[in-house]
Structure 1
Amino acid sequence: MLINCVVYENGTKLADIPVSQISEYASLPSCFVWVALRDASAQELAEVQEEFGLHPLAVEDAQHGHQRPKVEEYADSLFVVMHLLESGAAAGTSELSVGELDVFVGRNYVVSVRNRSDHGFVEVRERCEREPELLKNGPGFVLYALMDAVVDRYFPVIDAFEVELEDIEQRIFTKGSSRENIKQLYELKQRLTLLKHAVAPLLEGTSKLHGGRVPQICAGTQEYFRDVVDHLGRINSSIDAIRETIGTAIHVNLSMVTIEDNEVTKRFAAWAAIFAVCTAFAGIWGMNFEYMPELKWRYGYWAALGLIASLCGILYYRFRRAGWV
């Protein structure tokens, strides 16, 4: 569906226009058109493709969705794909939903297509309109504002991951919680991988927009894209640090599971040793030889029980002191 179709002239909003009038304003040298779409249909994409002459390969990627984050240059235009990560905390779940923002940028247009995401970019448009001096830079500045907004949404996600990891670390040495901790750590690692897949390719692509041969569309806004690259680099470093900590935590938890299993094994071994004494004496006196003096003794039964109980008590005392039982 169409969210907005607005024409800007010299950094100032001129008017909201229908898609059919885009060509009238796009031909003006001082104007550019910003079109925002959400879950666009093939027909809507075809309309804007015809109006702006979008590259068919870029339009095909936008139609199919589920693209890897990237920055691609087609002649005098850019096609940018970014992942939108939204936490399910509001719905009471820790899962991450992955949306997508596809942005077509040319000399006189910006087309943003949001897919599988409920969080819009109204604040980005308002920010751009509050800064006409910067908006004079044209579509390049709008692309920066959209990228900056997407990247800023990654910071709360990484903060939530760090808080969750700290909570798990506090429970690492709680007895009986190791297996549950390992499960939660693996789930956290999977969600962290989604963020890594969103950040790392975008960091590589955005680096092309501020250094070396910068596309003409981004001329004059390189320092802004450098700021985006800096933010992505910080997030990427945090992801690597969290992944390393998760790996260490998993090893520690596995060690705790082994230690707990060893404790159980020691208890079994201690009780087996105690009952082995009973079994040994019962086996000796159960052989039923005719000439066994203990069998004829009046107090033999009680003496045998006392001996067995005493030895078992001594073993229990020693094992207790050693922490085996």
Structure 2
Amino acid sequence: MLINCVAYQDGRKLADVEVEDISDYVARGDCFVWVALRDGDVGELAKMQEEFGLHALAVEDASRGHQRPKIEEYGDSLFVVVKTVEQRPGGNGELVLGEVDVFVGPNYVLSNRQNSAHDLLGVRARAEREPHLLKQGPAFVLYAIMDAVVDRYFPVADAMETELEQIEERIFEQKSQRDNIERLYALKRKALVLRHAVVPLLDAVGKLHGGRVPSVCADSQEYFRDVHDHLHRINTTLDSIRDTISTAIQVHLSMVAIDEGEVNKKLAAGAAIFAVMTAFAGIWGMNFKYMPELEWRYGYPAALLLMVTVCCYLYRKFRKAGWL
């Protein structure tokens, strides 16, 4: 669906453009056209390919969707894929992945937003409020789109850190151990989802500043360096979250092992006490004719007293050792 189709000249809005007239404005050379689509279908992308002269392979990737974050060069134009990451409202914080495909040329920008609840109207409004920056042309628009998407990663990462802190506070609570481990694994999956959006884009944006930079972005390298810095910060946060989750899981497993050891010690102590009683009962239960205790009047109570005394002695020893 077409959202906007506007031509800009010297950083200011020139005119709203009909789709059929896009190629005329692109051919002028003194302005650029910025088109925004939402969930554009194959027919719309084919029409845009005709008006802008887009590369067939880039259009094919945009039509299929579900692309890995990347930046590809096609002559003097770029095809950029950026993943949007949003938390599903009203649920358990599950992350929803979307995608923004951006075609950038010397005098055009075409963005196609897919499966994303957050619009990019704020990006256009911001660019129009800064005509001195919008004068840089399509490169600044690409930066503004990428910056808006990347900035939305920060609240997601912050929410993960907050949730991890809450789990850490409860990690030593005996009753919450199973719930904690389930939440840790769910958090680990969410961190992995965000990481899959950040890391490939981090590598790709590195191509837009320093070294050989595509010509369309040559005059805006410092802006893409800023995006690269934001991505690096988010990636560092994700590494920290991942390490903390791994440590928390190891702590949980260690606590389980300790608990199992405590149970095993109690069982072993109980078995030892019971074994002593069994041994005495087995000896006196043997059917021999000549056993002095059998003829003694106080043999039976003495045997019971001895068994109780030995068991009490073992109990005190195990208790002192912390096994009971």
TM-score bracket for this pair, using the shorter chain length = over 0.9
What does 1:86-125 correspond to in 2, within 5 Å? 86-88=86-88, 90-125=89-124
In the alignment, what sits opposite 1:237? 236
What does 1:200-279 correspond to in 2, within 5 Å? 200-279=199-278
- Once the two structures are superposed, residues 96-133 of structure 1 have per-residue CA deviations (whole angstroms, 9 ceiling, x without a partner) of 11111110011121111111111111111110111111
In the alignment, what sits opposite 2:185? 186
Query: Is residue 48 of structure 2 the alignment partner of residue 48 of structure 1?
Result: yes
In the alignment, what sits opposite 1:302? 301
- Once the two structures are superposed, residues 266-299 of structure 1 have per-residue CA deviations (whole angstroms, 9 ceiling, x without a partner) of 1110111111111111111111212222223333
Q: TM-score, normalised by structure 1?
A: 0.94
In the alignment, what sits opposite 1:318? 317
SS of 1:94 mapped into structure 2:
coil
SS of 1:91 mapped into structure 2:
coil
> How far 1:176 sits from its partner (Å)?
5.2
SS of 1:34 mapped into structure 2:
strand
In the alignment, what sits opposite 1:158? 157
Quick one: distance in 1 between partners of 2:36 and 2:299? Answer: 98
> How far 1:226 sits from its partner (Å)?
0.9
Q: Which amino acid aligns with 1:273?
A: A
- Once the two structures are superposed, residues 211-263 of structure 1 have per-residue CA deviations (whole angstroms, 9 ceiling, x without a partner) of 12222211321111111111111112222222222222222222211111111
> How far 1:304 sits from its partner (Å)?
2.4
> How far 1:166 sits from its partner (Å)?
1.9
Alignment: residue pair count: 324
Q: List gaps (5 residues or longer) in structure 2.
A: none
Quick one: distance in 2 between partners of 1:216 and 1:49? Answer: 21
Contact (CA 8 Å) 1:179, 1:257: kept in 2 or not? no
SS of 1:44 mapped into structure 2:
helix
RMSD of aligned alpha carbons: 1.7
Q: Which amino acid aligns with 2:191?
A: L
Comparing 193-202 and 72-81, the one that deviates more: 193-202
> How far 1:178 sits from its partner (Å)?
4.2
Quick one: distance in 2 between partners of 1:304 and 1:125? Answer: 95
Comparing 254-263 and 176-185, the one that deviates more: 176-185
Quick one: distance in 2 between partners of 1:290 and 1:177? Answer: 61
> How far 1:188 sits from its partner (Å)?
2.0
Quick one: distance in 1 between partners of 2:204 and 2:49? Answer: 23
Q: TM-score, normalised by structure 2?
A: 0.94
> How far 1:92 sits from its partner (Å)?
2.2
Quick one: distance in 2 between partners of 1:13 and 1:91? Answer: 39
Q: Which amino acid aligns with 1:33?
A: V
Quick one: distance in 1 between partners of 2:133 and 2:123? Answer: 13
Q: Which amino acid aligns with 1:95?
A: E
> How far 1:186 sits from its partner (Å)?
2.6
> How far 1:29 sits from its partner (Å)?
2.3
Quick one: distance in 1 between partners of 2:300 and 2:13? Answer: 106
Quick one: distance in 1 between partners of 2:163 and 2:115? Answer: 26
- Once the two structures are superposed, residues 173-213 of structure 1 have per-residue CA deviations (whole angstroms, 9 ceiling, x without a partner) of 33354454333323222221222211111111111112122
Quick one: distance in 1 between partners of 2:314 and 2:5? Answer: 86
